[in-house]
A and B are shown apart, each in its own frame.
Chain A
Amino acid sequence: MSRKHTVALVGNPNSGKSALFNALTGARQKIANYAGVTVERKAGRLTLPTGEPVELLDLPGSYSFDAASPDEAVTRDVVKGTFEGEAVPDVLVLVLDAANLEQHLVFAQEVLELGRPTVVALNMVDLAERDGLTLDPAALSEALGVPVIPTVAVRRRGIVDLNEAIAEAETHSDEEAPTRWHLTLPERRLSAKHMARAAILSKSTRHTIENGVDKVLLNPWLGPVILFGLLFVIFQAVFAWATPFADALEGGVGVISEAVTGAMAPGLVRDFLTEGVLAGVGSVVVFLPQIIILFAFILVMEASGYMARAAFLMDRLMAGVGLSGKSFIPLLSSFACAIPGIMATRSIADPKDRLTTILIAPLMTCSARLPVYAVIIAAVIPETTVGAGVGLQGLVLFALYVAGIIGAMVVALVLRRTVTKGAASGFIMELPRYQLPRIKDLLIGLWQRAWVFLRRAGTIIFVATIALWALLTFPKAEESESQLDASFAGAVADTIHPVLEPVGFNREMSLALVPAIAAREVAVSALATTYAVDAEDEDVAAEGVTAKIAALWSLPTALAFLAWFVFAPQCLSTIAVARRETNGWKWPIVMVVYLFALAWIAAGATYSIAVSLGL
Chain B
Amino acid sequence: MTLDGFDSGRTARITGVDWASLAEDEGKRLKALGVDEGAEVAILHRGVFGGRDPIAMRLGNMTIAIRRMHAAAISVEAA
Contact = CB atoms under 8 A, between A and B. Distances in A.
Interface of A: 63-64, 66-69, 99-100, 102-103, 106-107, 185-186, 189, 210-211, 214-215, 218-221, 223-224, 308, 311-313, 315-317, 319, 325, 349-350, 423, 426-431
15 contacts: A63-B33, A64-B31, A100-B60, A106-B32, A185-B31, A210-B63, A319-B53, A426-B26, A427-B65, A428-B26, A428-B66, A430-B62, A430-B65, A431-B64, A431-B65
A210 B23 CA distance: 30
B36 A68 contact: no
Q: Which of B31, B49, B56, B61 is the most central at the interface, judged by chain A CB atoms within 10 Å of its CB?
A: B61
B36 A220 contact: no
Shortest beta-carbon contacts, A-B, top 10: A63-B32, A64-B32, A68-B28, A431-B63, A218-B45, A68-B25, A68-B29, A100-B61, A316-B49, A429-B65
Interface residues of B, number: 33
Nearest to A311: B65
B34 interface: yes
B71 to A, nearest CB: 11
B24 to A, nearest CB: 8
Contacts of B34: 103, 106, 189
A350 to B, nearest CB: 8
A218 B62 contact: no
Given A214-B56, A428-B65, 15 more contacts: A69-B25, A214-B45, A214-B63, A220-B52, A313-B48, A315-B54, A315-B65, A319-B53, A350-B25, A423-B23, A426-B66, A426-B67, A427-B65, A430-B33, A431-B56
Nearest to A100: B61
A103 B62 contact: yes
Contacts of A215: 45
Contacts of B23: 423, 426
Contacts of B63: 210, 214, 430-431
Given A69-B25, A214-B56, A189 B62 contact: no
Contact of A66 (B32, B33, B64, B66): B32
Contacts of A214: 44-45, 56, 63
Contacts of B1: none
Nearest to B26: A426
B5 interface: no
Contact of A349 (B25, B56, B62): B25
A433 to B, nearest CB: 8
A350 B50 CA distance: 24
B69 interface: yes
A429 B65 CA distance: 5
Nearest to A107: B32
Contacts of B33: 63, 103, 428, 430
Contacts of A423: 23
Contacts of B29: 63, 68-69, 428
A308 B48 CA distance: 15
Say what secondary structure dominates the interface of chain A. Answer: helix
A214 B65 CA distance: 12
Nearest to B66: A428
B13 interface: no
Contacts, number: 115
Nearest to B51: A316
A223 B36 contact: no
B61 A102 contact: yes
A528 B74 CA distance: 63
Contacts of B52: 220
Q: Which of B25, B29, B66, B69 is the most central at the interface, judged by chain A CB atoms within 10 Å of its CB?
A: B29
A317 B26 contact: no
A308 to B, nearest CB: 7
A220 B65 CA distance: 14
Given A214-B56, A316-B48, A429-B64, A68 B70 contact: no
Contacts of B65: 308, 311-312, 315, 325, 427-431
A415 to B, nearest CB: 19
Given A64-B28, A431-B65, A312 B44 contact: no
Given A68-B25, A103-B34, A427-B65, A316 B60 contact: no
A46 B30 CA distance: 35
Contacts of B25: 68-69, 349-350
Interface string B36-60: 1000000011111111111010001
Interface in B6-39: 23, 25-26, 28-34, 36
Nearest to A223: B48
Contacts of A319: 53, 67
Given A430-B63, A430-B64, A68 B47 contact: no
A126 to B, nearest CB: 15
A123 to B, nearest CB: 14
Q: Which of B36, B49, B70 is the most central at the interface, judged by chain A CB atoms within 10 Å of its CB?
A: B49
A224 B48 CA distance: 8
A84 B7 CA distance: 49
Nearest to B69: A426
A349 B53 CA distance: 20
Contacts of A316: 47-51, 53-54
A218 B26 contact: no
A106 B31 CA distance: 11
A312 B31 contact: no
Contacts of B28: 64, 66-68
Contacts of A103: 33-34, 60-62
B54 A100 contact: no
Nearest to A67: B28
Given A186-B36, A214-B44, A428-B29, A99 B54 contact: no
A99 B63 CA distance: 13
A64 B32 CA distance: 6
B60 A313 contact: no
A220 B62 contact: no
B60 A428 contact: no
